[in-house]
Amino acid sequence: MTIFYKIILLTITIISIFIGCEKHQEKEYVPTYSDERPFKKEVYIFGIHPLHNPKRLFEVYKPMIDYINVRLKGAQLRLEASRNYPAYDKKLFAGYFHFSLPNPYQTVTSTKYGYNIFGKMGDDNNFRGIILVQKNGAIKTVNDLKGKTVSYPAPTALAATMMPQWYLYKHGLDINKDVTNSYVGSQESSIMNVYLGKTAAASTWPPPWRAFIKERPEIAKKVIVKWETPPLPNNGLVVRKDVPKNILNQVSKIIFSLHTHEEGKKILESMELSRYEVANYETYNPVREFLKRFELEVRPIRLSK
C-alpha cells in the first residue's frame, strides 16, 4: 500500500470517528417530552358576593388574592366577581366556587350545597343595616315612609336589605303594603337612588357607605344615616368540601394572619376591616334564628319573580 492510499485511509477513519462522535453528542442533547406537567398548579375559584360593583370589588379584594397566591404552594386562587346577587347566588348554590366570601344568609344556606364554614370577617359591629334619607328631606319618622319607595341592593342582602326591613317592620311599617320596595342590584345603586331623590330612603351597611363617602364626599352634604339596626355575625368564609385540606390550611393561615403585619393591614384597610377570624357552623346560629323569624313575620327571603 502506497503512502498516498495510507493517507486516504487515515483521513476516512478520522472523518468517520468525528461523525460518530457528533451523532453520539446529538443523541445525548435531544430533549424528551412527556404529557405530564409536574409544575402545573391547580386553580381554585374564590368568589366574593356583591359587596361592591365588580370593578370596585376587584380593586378591594384582588390585593388579598395576589398576596395569598405568592405564598400558596401547589395551587393558585382566581378571584371572581358577580354582576349582582342573583348571579352570585346561582353560582354559589351550584357549587361553582371553591372558596367564597358570602353574606351571612348565603353563608348558612351554602352549607346545604356542599360547603363548610371555616372563617368570617371580624368587626361584627359593622354588620348592621343602615337606612339613609336626604338630610333636608321630609322623612323624620318611620311612619313618614308610608306610600313612598325604599331602595335596597337585593332581596337576599342580609345587612343591607333584610335587617333594615326588619327594623321598619318592628317600628310599625308593613313593608309588603305600606312601601314600594325597589331592589336596585348593588350597594352603590341603593345609595345613589336616595341621593338623586328617586327613593325616599335607601338601605345599605356601613363599609360600602363609608367607602362611598370617601369617593363621593358631596354625598355627605345631602344624605344622612337616619336609622340603624343591631348587628349580627359578619360575612363568612366558606370552602367547598372537596378542596384538599392542605390547600384550605394554607389559605386559612394566610388570611387569619393578615392583621399581624403592615402589608396585611393595608389590604384589610381597603375592606374597612380589622381582621378575619376562625368561625364554624355554630358561629352563625344567631343568623339562622333571625332568618327564621324574618321569613315567618316579614316576607319570603328568595322572592319569586
Strands 276-278 and 115-121: antiparallel
What homologous superfamily does CATH list for 42-125+233-297? Answer: Periplasmic binding protein-like II (3.40.190.10)
Cα–Cα–Cα angle for 217, 218, 222, rounded to 5 degrees: 120
User: 273: which 3 cell numbers?
Assistant: 376591616
Q: How many residues are present in the chain?
A: 305
Give the per-residue pLDDT at 214. 87
Q: Residue 52 and residue 157: Cα distance in Å, rounded?
A: 12
Percent of the chain exceeding pLDDT 90 equals: 75
Give the per-residue pLDDT at 53. 82
Q: Is the pLDDT of residue 188 over 80?
A: yes
CB proximity list for 100: less than 8 A, separation 6 or greater: 46, 47, 48, 49, 92, 110, 115, 237, 238
Give the per-residue pLDDT at 304. 54
Given this chain, do its domains 42-125+233-297 and 130-228 carry the same CATH topology? Answer: yes
Q: Which residue has the cell 354582576?
A: 83
User: 71: which 3 cell numbers?
Assistant: 405564598
pTM comes to 0.82
> Domain residues of the chain, as ranges?
42-125+233-297, 130-228
CA atoms within 13 A on the CB side of 240: 15
Topology classification of domain 130-228: D-Maltodextrin-Binding Protein; domain 2 (3.40.190)
Q: Is the pLDDT of residue 18 over 80?
A: no
User: 300: which 3 cell numbers?
Assistant: 319570603
CA 210 from chain centre, in angstroms, equals 18
pLDDT tens for residues 29-60?
Answer: 223 323 333 446 799 999 999 888 888 899 99
Q: Taking a C-beta distance cutoff of 8 angstroms, is the pair 122, 275 a contact?
A: yes
